[in-house]
Amino acid sequence: MSSLVYGLLTSLIVTFIATPYVKKLAVKIGAVDAPDQRKVHKRIMPRLGGLAIYIGYLVSFFLFVPYEKTEEMLGIFVGGTIIMLTGMLDDKFQLSPKWKLLGQLVGTAVVVIPFGLKIGIVHLPYNGYIDFSSGWLAWLAIPITIFWIVGVTNAINLIDGLDGLSAGVSGIAVGTMAVVALIMGYSGAGAYYNDVATYCFVLLGAILGFLYFNFHPAKIFMGDTGSLFLGFNLAALSIMGFKEALFVSFIIPIVVLGVPLWDTFFAIVRRIVNNKPISAPDKGHLHHCLLNMGLSHRATVLTIYAISIFFGTIAIVLSKTTQLWTTIILIAILLFAVHIGTEIVGLVGRRYRPLINAYRRLKIKYTERRSH
């Protein structure tokens, strides 16, 4: 337990001290973010804050994370460093999407997977299982792992649109993973999950140390240096923590990362519905929708924090659930809440409200029958 606390405090303090210096460096080298019609901020902001997160993480990683026990930990560190450098180059030189994608593929396919991190065994109900660690399924595990890591990495990058939003959501997700890993570790699953928890606490401390400077009104943005680095780590940790999971808990990583995945999924749907390229930027993301509903900048961020905590709580409950039907009911409730939320805030569009409109029609018919 001491390594968890010391790891968190060390990364928090180092990041807190490093952030003002990184801010000066960002301004000096021109790694700044100018406002435009799609962005919310109104003045030029330094955006290299992810480097401060990385510095705090780096120091605490080598002091407290038992990376020598498993190649996977070292693989996440090396791959994350490549991703961080890719983000730094983008913050300075505005790389094209294909070059950013190349950096992500190198960090994932060339580093993380050869270090042994990929989807393993999925235990199905009634003593069945799918083994992605051997045979022809081992080849299928590679593209699935790449798709998951690259997808989550970019999902975190997409929600980085308001002060403290991406850092806070990432912190809640990391904290949730730490709790679930500790539950698995204490339940007799082995020291492996305690090591995963230690890594999570180290990363969480770095996020919290930076969030002090990043929460509204922000003094510095994390930039792609931070959002890509955190997204990569969240994706890799979700595989490491649940790569030999029961079927009922296999969906836990998806629930933990519910907010960015929800926003990204409906961003794709929205662009398809509106006949726009999937990669085309717009102002229809979750935070944009909440702002359009009249919420302030800070209230929007806190609302999304609350949604993230809701997802995290469901994930923790799922990790303790042993009954398949309980899991199915929880997931059904979660999916219903997500869809209703999507219609209320207008993530796909203001006219896309099938469930709400169906309810209104039923209410009108019921009222008419009562009146007769």
Residue stretches of the annotated binding site for Mg(2+): 157, 224
User: Regarding beta strands 129-131 and 121-123, do their DSSP bridges make them parallel or antiparallel, or are they unpaired?
Assistant: antiparallel
Determine contact, residues 165/159, Cβ cutoff 8 Å. Answer: yes
Of 61, 356, 354, the C-alpha closest to 205 is 61
Of 129, 136, 109, 10, the C-alpha closest to 64 is 10
- The b/e string for 22-59 (b: 16+ C-beta within 10 A; e otherwise) is bbeebeeeebbbeeeeeebbeeebbbbbbbbbbbbbbb
Peptide bond connecting 217 to the previous residue in cis, omega within 30 degrees of 0: yes
Residues in the annotated binding site: 157, 224
- For the chain, the distance separating the N- and C-terminal CA atoms, rounded to the nearest angstrom, is 68
Q: How far does CA 372 lie from the centroid of its chain?
A: 53
How far, in Å, CA of 66 to CA of 351, rounded?
52
